[in-house]
């Protein structure tokens, strides 16, 4: 299965990566579409770049992080707690699926 992840737009004038609310929403959509596959993979832990993802991580993400993001409580932290986390998870799943 091909993993689709939202692109990070680049502000050429500032030469900085700009992650929009739309990028965050697309990453959440990717997570929701792949939730079951992720859950099955996390039966055994998955370590990516020193971060270990488990089913407990997924439970916290589903019941604490996502509701906080949806209600606007994360504000400037959404990039770190939602977008970058899901980007890392997506990349790790893709790398583990490669032969």
Closest CA to 91 of 46, 56, 61: 46
Contacts of 52 (CB under 8 A, 6+ apart): 45, 46
12-45 pLDDT, tens digit each: 455 556 788 999 999 999 999 999 999 999 999 9
Are the C-beta atoms of residues 38 and 96 closer than 8 Å to each other?
no
What confidence category does residue 99 fall into, taking pLDDT thresholds of 50, 70 and 90? low
53-87 pLDDT, tens digit each: 999 999 999 999 999 999 999 988 999 999 999 99
The verdict on pTM exceeding 0.85 is no
Distance from C-alpha of 40 to C-alpha of 96, rounded to nearest angstrom: 14
């Amino acid at each position: 299965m091909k993993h689709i992840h939202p692109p990070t737009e680049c502000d050429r004038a500032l030469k900085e990566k700009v992650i929009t609310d739309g990028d965050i929403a697309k990453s959440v959509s990717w997570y929701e579409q792949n939730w079951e596959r992720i859950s099955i993979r996390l039966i055994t832990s998955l370590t990516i770049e020193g971060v270990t993802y488990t089913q407990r991580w997924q439970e916290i993400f589903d019941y604490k992080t996502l509701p906080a993001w949806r209600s606007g409580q994360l504000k400037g932290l959404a990039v770190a707690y939602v977008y970058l986390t899901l980007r890392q998870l997506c990349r790790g799943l893709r790398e583990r699926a490669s032969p």
